Amino acid sequence: MSDHYEALGVPRDASTEDIKKAYRKLARKLHPDVNPGEAERFKDVSAAYDVLSNPEKRRAYDRGESLGGFGGGGAGAGFGFSDIFETFFGGAAGGGGRGPASRARRGQDALVRVEVDLRDAVFGADRELQVDTAVVCSTCQGSCCQPGTSPRTCEVCGGRGQVQRQVRSFLGQVMTTAPCPNCGGFGTTIPNPCPECAGEGRVQERRTLTVRIPPGVSTGTRIQLAGQSEVGFGGGPPGDLFVEVVERDHETFTRRGDDLHCTVQVPMTAAALGTTLSVDTLDGSQSVDVRAGTQSGEVHTLRGLGVGHLRGGGRGDLLVHVDVQTPTRLDERQEELLRQLAEMRGEEAAEGRLTSAGGGVFGRLRDLISGR
């Protein structure tokens, strides 16, 4: 490779502006579309400009170092020049000189929603999903061609995937590259498309797959299944399937974070005298001791009977709220007994007693609502 300063015909202390001017002048004269016989010199000039127009590369060059050759891309066959040329002269955006594009495209990601009930959220579950998606066409194996045929080199672009276009610029008419309209930039056409997939390389299919729902999921949790979405055009790699959870409400248990809440109704007499209740939890029957004198709104915590934590092990708690039931529809004898009880307790003409909002049922209710 010749000396870069010599190639551009500039002194070693030339300013960046001088270098730019020198390159423009030479490029106008030497560009292969203008002067095909000067391809080698154009290559040298472009390589020189690539180095000298970049202060860092220029300093390294002046110190006698090489920064890994021209263009940094190592693309060989001169891909680098058209890049520079296009950057410099504002040619076609993208795609310049990069050769034909592959037909295979990555498939799109997809999102499916799956409803889970509380039991699945608490313990986790395996769920079968049916997805309608695209799979590689088994007739053409994704090649898009009818079996026994093959793609044909595009006669418009000669397989390059690109065509040159004339564009007006300050240079006058210059050529720039654009994707070939005949082959769509692929460099080949498919004269005999696969009849099974109509030349797409993929077909629609209903697939059944099993997804592991971990404990702790809730509405909006997404589970990523890599490579389980549709296969791309031309048999390209599949996208990812995202499974989004929608959690169904439970008729008995209300979820707050990873804790569960339920309410158990206790007759007034049982609350006053004390009893042992059997509560049907998701872990089976559990006994809850209701001490004598239990008030409405008291909470019993059953540790570790809530929802499994999504991250880390362990589970939340189950909080059982006691709701003391006042009897209604008393028969004569019951009413008589209650009156006797009231008399014995001096409550025949009881007046309501005011308490601060911090205590009593309302305080506990407030704590519950605010999650304390």
Residues contributing to the annotated binding site for Zn(2+) = 137, 140, 154, 157, 180, 183, 194, 197
The CB-of-90 to Zn ion minimum distance in angstroms stands at 24
In order, the DSSP letters of 167-179 are: EEETTEEEEEEEE
CB of 95 to Zn ion, least distance (A): 13
Beta strand spans in the chain (E) = 110-116, 125-136, 152-153, 162-169, 172-179, 188-189, 202-213, 222-225, 241-247, 254-256, 259-267, 275-281, 284-290, 299-302, 318-325
Amino acid type, 7: A
Task: Give the torsion sign (CA, 115, 119, 124, 126).
Answer: negative
Residue with smaller CB distance to Zn ion, 109 or 196: 196
Q: Name the minimum Å distance from CB 140 to Zn ion.
A: 3
> Minimum Å distance from CB 194 to Zn ion?
3
Shorter beta-carbon distance to Zn ion: residue 195 or 267 = 195
Q: From the CB of 35, what's the least distance to Zn ion, in Å?
A: 26
C-alpha 262/C-alpha 80 separation (Å) is 70
Contact residues toward Zn ion (CB under 5 A) are: 137, 139-140, 154, 156-157, 180, 182-183, 194, 196-197
Pick 134 or 324: Cβ nearer Zn ion: 134
Long-range contacts of 49-52 (CB under 8 A, 24+ apart): 49/8, 49/19, 49/23, 49/84, 49/88, 50/80, 50/84, 51/4, 52/4, 52/5, 52/8, 52/10, 52/14, 52/16, 52/19
Neighbours of 13 (CB within 10 A): 7
> Based on CB atoms, which residue is closest to Zn ion, 7 or 135?
135
The nearer residue to Zn ion, 38 or 196, going by C-beta atoms, is: 196
Per the annotation, binding residues are 137, 140, 154, 157, 180, 183, 194, 197
